[in-house]
Structure 1
Amino acid sequence: MSSSELVRWGGLAAMGAGALYILAEFMDLYNFVLAGGGEQLSDVMATAPYAVEALLLLLGDVLLLFGLFGLYVRQSEAAGTLGLVGFLVAFLGTALTVGVDWDEVFVVPILADAAPELLDAGPPLGIILSFLTFLVGWLMFGVAALRARVYPRWAALLLIVGAVLAGVPLSLSTVPFGIAVAWMGSTLFAGRNTSAEQPARVR
Structure 2
Amino acid sequence: MNGKRKVTTENLIRLAGLFAILAGILYIGIQIFHPEDNLSSVNTNLWVIVASLTIAMSIFSLIGILGIYITQAEETGWLGLVGFVTFSLFWLVSMSFSFTEAFVLPLLTNDAPNFVNGILGIFGGTKSEVELGIFPTLAPFAGGLYMLGGILLGIATLRAGVFPRILGVLLAFSAVVTLAAAIIPHPFDRILAIPMGIAFIWLGSILFSGHERSNGK
Aligned residues with identical type, % of pairs: 32
Q: Is the 8 Å Cα contact of residues 90 and 143 (structure 2) preserved in structure 1? A: yes
Alignment of 1:49-198 (within 5 A): 49-121=46-118, 122-123=121-122, 124-166=136-178, 168=181, 169=186, 170-197=189-216
TM-score, normalization by structure 2: 0.79
Distance 1:19 1:197, change over 3 A: closer
Q: Which moved more, 1:97-106 or 1:165-174?
A: 165-174
The answer to which of 16-25 and 115-124 deviates more is 115-124
Deviations along 1:149-191, one digit per CA (max 9) or x if unpaired, are 2112222222212223346351322111011011001101111
SS at match of 1:114: coil
Which secondary structure state, in structure 1, belongs to the residue aligned with residue 143 of structure 2? helix
**Residues of 2 paired with 1:56 and 1:163: CA distance?**
21
Maintained 8 Å contact 2:72/2:160: yes
Secondary structure at 1:195's aligned position in 2?
Answer: coil
Deviation at 1:148, TM superposition (A): 1.1
Task: Answer whether contact 1:27 1:50 (CA < 8 A) is retained.
Answer: no
User: Which is higher, the Rg of structure 1 or of structure 2?
Assistant: 2
Q: Give the corresponding residue for 1:12.
A: 18
Residue correspondences, number: 189
Show structure 2 runs of 5+ residues with no match.
1-6, 123-135
Contact 1:10–1:67 (CA<8 Å) still a contact in 2?
A: yes
Checking the alignment, whether the CA contact within 8 Å between 1:151 and 1:195 is kept in structure 2 is yes
Partner residue in 1 for 2:44: 47
Q: Report if the CA contact (8 A) 2:27-2:193 is conserved.
A: yes
Report the AA paired with residue 189 of structure 1.
F
Across the aligned residues of Structure 1 and Structure 2, the Cα RMSD in angstroms comes to: 2.0
